[in-house]
Amino acid sequence: MHDFNLFYALATIVGVFAVIMGTCAMLIFIERKVAAWVQDRLGPNRVGPAGLLQSVADGLKFLLKEDIIPRQVDKVLFLMAPAIAMCTALLAFAVVPFGATSVPPERPDLMVIPVSGPVIDPMNDPNVARLVTKFADYDRRTAQYRESYQFVIAPGLDIGIVFVFAITSLAVYAIILGGWAANNKYSFIGGLRSSAQFVSYEIPLGLSILGVVLMTGSLNLEKIIWDQTGGGWNIFVQPLAWLIFVTAGLAECNRVPFDLPEAEQELVGGYHTEYSAMKFAMFFLGEYTHLVTTSFLNVIVFFGGWHFPFIATAESGWLIKLLVIAVKVACFILFFMVVRWTLPRFRFDQLMALAWKVLIPLAIANLICVMIVKQLGWSVWILGPVSIGILIGAAWLSVQPMRVEKASAAM
Amino acid sequence: MPPEPGFDLSAYFPIFLYLAIILGFAGTTLILAHVVGPRRDTSVKLMPYESGMDPVGDARQRFDVKFYLLAIMFLVFDVELLFLYPWAVVAYREGGLPAFLSGPVFWGVLVFIALLLVAYVYDWRKGVFRWR
């Protein structure tokens, strides 16, 4: 279906790579500035004008510091872990559209064309003729799709969001290998906790997206954006799904309030206690790239991607679409940063209870609601109030301490 | 000639290219940091960190069986999720499921989720999700 265009692919990859690296460097600086504002301090302001070169100085220092490999570590795994952390975070971005995209044409299905009679004369059969025109149309649109530049590294990949989940879930190997290889008690406990957290939150993350997939009928992120340009953003239709998605996404990023693996007060540095210099920087880079990817996914799946009413519609130019999606993503990243400096950290049992006892049942309830609405052919707009209803119900259940106590005492 | 619906490897070529570049970058960074950075090893510096004390015993000890139970629960739910994705894609899109299959598939998926919920409730009652 897609001819592989080496020039487009290389240009996009180099561009994306440079932008992600630059963004991550800037994000570290911005994070420190936001922290400073929240805590009424000045933040970094010595290196360069207004401290803007702080990230460059940090990067150089990471490179020039001593690269300690402790004696007791498992050397191969110890070196592999930061590389895995960085590679998986970067690779997940491959299918994320970061600007204007059009929808990849869908191949017409042979199965649904009914046979018109017992005898088929392929030359004169009207169904065959219809099929032939369908395929001709498909070929024409494919050629069109291929000619126009798409703002995504791998355009038209039909597994889309599943690819992102598959790759980001590999990041758990980095954490558990890093924790295991370091042969340090803090690292080991941090790695264990972190892997438990990772796998737990992956399930609500995957379940929350199912509702959107049911409505769109595709896993392709370009198609998901396109679907929202006509009928309103998914956040209005499925607010509950978004809430689950953003919570689980925060946990997958290892950010406060879910940064248990790095709880300094109890675990020193968690799984990266023994890491120093560039290897530590690679873990860091992976984490920030993951943050960027999560923000992009939030924007694309629930907030309409490059679409914004009256400003960026389907007919707008590519520059305005790029700007709209960039602004949306920036808002999300700032939101995540403010959350980090606002909320205290969870306790580990609370963390696990939130994933297994709250998010998973809510996600399944949401999925069943979407199923029923789609099956009965109702308008999807019913789902918004229903979502809020479920949320209020869950909140009401959660403030019934007596009942919960009794239930656990009876066990 | 009727085309096979679906898979086309060439759509993945940009990803392979991207992966190669990333791996190259990661390898270069690791080697560069090793070459550029100074190395002054002392026996204390190469000890595992344990809050300034000499490390006691090995770090790789037995740990709570809860993590194991959790891993199994994760497997159950994750495999369930993998089964639901293909269904979610074809269930309600144009030209997806034929109309006569719509009802049976709907009830089938409901039963599938219900079966999982039974296991879920059982685990909850058994206290798998309780951490102490």
Q: Indicate yes or no: CB of A183 within 8 angstroms of CB of B48.
A: yes
How sure is the predictor about A245, in pLDDT bands with cuts at 50, 70 and 90?
very high
In order of A13, A193, A247, the CA distances from B128 in angstroms are: 44, 16, 22
Tokens of A195: 């892997």
Quote the pLDDT of residue A402: 58
Residues of chain B contacting A157 with CB distance shorter than 8 Å? 11-12, 15
Q: A13: distance to nearest CA of chain B, Å? A: 6
Rg, chain A, Cα only: 24
Range of the domain at B106: 65-126
pLDDT at A269 over 90: no
Closest A-chain CA to B67? A196
Q: Are B85 and A162 in contact (CB under 8 A)?
A: yes
Main-chain phi, psi angles of A312, to 5 degrees: -125, 100
Query: Per the domain annotation, does B122 fall within a domain?
Result: yes
Q: Residue written as tokens 């220092």?
A: A61
Q: What's residue A3's pLDDT?
A: 59
Determine the residue of chain B that is closest to A224 in CA distance.
B89
Token look-up 């269930």 returns: B91
Which one of B31, B58, B77, B123 makes the best mutation probe of the A interface by having the most chain A beta carbons within 10 Å?
B77
Task: Test B92 with A203 for CB contact under 8 angstroms.
Answer: no
Q: Do B60 and A180 touch (CB under 8 A)?
A: yes
Q: Which residues of A187-212 are buried (b: 16+ CB within 10 A; e: fewer)?
A: bbbbbbbbbbbbbbbbbbbbbbbbbb
In chain A, which residues have their Cβ closer than 8 Å to the Cβ of B60? 180, 183, 188
Residue A265's pLDDT is 67
A305, with CB counted inside 10 A (0-12, 13-18, 19+), is buried
Cα–Cα nearest to A234, from A215, A207, A261, A254: A215
Which residues are paired to A383 by β-bridges? Answer: none
- As a whole number of angstroms, the distance between CA A26 and CA A32 comes to 10
Domain annotation covers residue B76:
yes
CB A275 within 8 A of CB A196: no
How far is A328 from A332, CA to CA, in rounded Å? 6
Q: What total number of domains does chain B contain?
A: 1
ipTM of the complex: 0.85
Give the nearest partner residue to A162 out of B18, B85, B109, using CB atoms. Answer: B85
pLDDT reported for residue B3: 46
Of A69, A187, A210, the CB nearest to B84: A210
Does some domain include residue B100? yes
**Of all residues in chain B, what percent carry a pLDDT higher than 90?**
6
Cβ burial of A238 (10 Å; 0-12, 13-18, 19+) is buried
Mean predicted confidence (pLDDT) in A288-293: 90
> Cβ contacts (< 8 Å) between B81 and chain A: which residues?
203, 206-207, 210
Neighbours of A132 (CB within 10 A): 11
In terms of residues, how long is chain B? 132
Closest approach of B4 to chain A, Cα-based (Å)? 9
Angstrom CA distances, B62 to A273, A305, B43, stand at 20, 47, 28
Distance CA A401, CA B130 (A): 16
Listed in sequence order, the residues at least 6 apart from A393 whose beta carbon sits closer than 8 Å to its beta carbon are: none
Q: What is the largest CA-CA distance in chain A?
A: 84
Of residues A264 and A222, more confidence is placed in: A222
Per-residue pLDDT, averaged over A289-316, amounts to 84
Name every residue whose Cβ is closer than 8 Å to that of residue B60 and which is 6 or more positions away in sequence: A180, A183, A188
Judging contacts by C-beta atoms under 8 Å, the chain B residues touching residue A203 are 74, 77-78, 81
Distance of CA A383 to the CA centre of its chain: 23
pLDDT tens digits, one per residue of A73-128: 888 888 888 899 889 989 988 888 887 777 777 766 655 555 555 556 666 667 77
Cα A242 vs. chain centroid, distance in angstroms?
12
A-chain CB neighbours of B127 within 8 Å are 411
* Predicted pLDDT at A411: 43
Task: Extract the tokens encoding A24.
Answer: 């991550």
Residue A163 has pLDDT above 70, yes or no: yes
Res B111: pLDDT: 93
Length of chain A measured in residues: 411
**For B75-120, how does the pLDDT look when each residue is reduced to its tens digit (9 = 90+)?**
888 888 888 888 888 888 776 777 788 888 889 999 999 998 998 8
Residue with tokens 């069943």: A368
φ/ψ region of B51 (left if φ > 0, alpha if ψ in -120 to 50, else beta) reads left
Peptide bond into A257 cis (omega under 30): yes
Amino acid at A389: G
Q: Which two tokens stand for residue A76?
A: 């191969």
Banded model confidence at residue A263, pLDDT cuts 50, 70, 90: low
Q: How far is it, in rounded angstroms, from Cα A54 to Cα A228?
A: 40
Q: What percent of chain A has pLDDT over 70?
A: 89
Report the share of chain A in percent with pLDDT over 90: 5
| A322-329 average pLDDT score | 88
Min Cα–Cα distance to chain B from A303, Å: 20
Dihedral, CA of residue A235, residue A294, residue A211 and residue A304, to nearest 10? 40
DSSP state of B9: G
Lowest-confidence pick of A135-139, A259-263, A304-308, B112-116: A259-263
For residue A156, give how far its alpha carbon lies from the nearest alpha carbon of chain B (Å): 7
On average, the pLDDT of chain B sits at 81
Q: What DSSP string describes A52-109?
A: TTHHHHHHHHHHHS-----TTS-HHHHHHHHHHHHHHHHHGGGG---S---PPPPPPP
Residue B22 within a domain: no
Q: Which residue has the higher pLDDT, A183 or A119?
A: A183
The residue of chain B with its CA nearest to that of A95 is: B15
Chain B neighbors of A407, CB-CB under 8 A = none
Listed range (A116-125, A233-242, A323-332) with the worst mean pLDDT = A116-125
What is the CA angle A303-A308-A310, rounded to 5? 155
Structure tokens at B22: 């990333």
Q: Which has the minimum average pLDDT: A46-50, A77-81, A167-171?
A: A46-50
> Could you give the 3-state DSSP secondary structure of residue A312?
strand
Flag whether B37 is in a domain.
Answer: no
In the predicted structure, residue A410 carries a pLDDT above the cut 50: no
pLDDT at A149 exceeding the cut of 80:
no
- Which positions in chain B touch A282 (Cβ < 8 Å)? 26, 29-30
pLDDT, position B2: 43
pTM given for the model? 0.86
Contact A70 B47 (CB under 8 A): yes
Residue of B nearest to A16 (CA): B18
Average pLDDT over residues A226-251: 86
Mutant choice from A285, A356, A370, A397 vs B, greatest count of B C-beta within 10 A: A356
| B102 within some domain | yes
Cβ–Cβ gap B36/A63 under 8 Å: yes
Q: Do B81 and A203 touch (CB under 8 A)?
A: yes
